Amino acid sequence: MSSAPVTILRAFLDVQKSRPRPQRRIRGKHSARIRLFTLETGSCEGCAMEMMALKGSAFPLEGSGFQFVHHPEDADWLLVTGSVTRSSASALAAAWDAMPAGRSLIAVGDCAYNGGRWGANYATLGGIHALSRVYKTIPGCPPSPSAILQALGDLVEESSTGSHASSASRRRRQ
């Protein structure tokens, strides 16, 4: 019998598979910003700290077409840091469920992608790679704020050129 967190994330996986494709957004002078919600799901919090740094004035986040929001209901993209502990699984599912259609899931850091150095064990589920279709992965332990910003910009470019599906497939095969 599956544990409650695993059951929740299996449902999460099912939703991911059937979700609509993200709406294409092209950044430009008059285009809307892409709204980001971050969720730390259990780790050393190194990636979460880099995300906090990215929110600081040293990085041109808003000028690059992004905006952090405080509630998943207002977000376009969900940025996950951490290896997804069993106790955080329900928070992850709740955040995802609260987001409007067109949402996307992005693993920030190695732990969020595949569990990183923690892997899967009695306390963690091993990242979201094995649990759901990851739209985008930003590798690193941790990725720097500038690397995260660059990767987010690349994701927009991929979306605008329609190359997102092929690159996501490539990542899934790795």
Site residues for ligand SF4 per CB under 6 A: 43-44, 46-47, 81-82, 109-111, 116-117, 141-142
Shortest distance (Å) from residue 30 CB to ligand SF4? 36
Shortest distance (Å) from residue 87 CB to ligand SF4? 16
Residue among 15 and 44 whose Cβ is closer to ligand SF4: 44
Residue among 8 and 148 whose Cβ is closer to ligand SF4: 148
Two structure tokens written together for 22: 């993200």
Residue among 112 and 156 whose Cβ is closer to ligand SF4: 112
Bond into 20 cis (ω within 30): no
Residue among 19 and 113 whose Cβ is closer to ligand SF4: 113
Q: What is the DSSP letter of 121?
A: S
Q: Which residue has the tokens 């430009």?
A: 28
Shortest distance (Å) from residue 114 CB to ligand SF4? 10
Two structure tokens written together for 36: 């980001």
Shortest distance (Å) from residue 166 CB to ligand SF4? 26
Residue among 61 and 80 whose Cβ is closer to ligand SF4: 80
Q: What CA–CA distance (Å, rounded) separates 101 from 19? A: 8
* CA within 13 Å, CB half, 100: 9
Which residue number places its CB atom closest to ligand SF4?
Answer: 46
Q: Are 41 and 112 in contact (CB under 8 A)?
A: yes
Shortest distance (Å) from residue 32 CB to ligand SF4? 30
Q: Where are the beta strands (DSSP E) in the chain?
A: 34-40, 66-68, 77-81, 104-108, 136-138
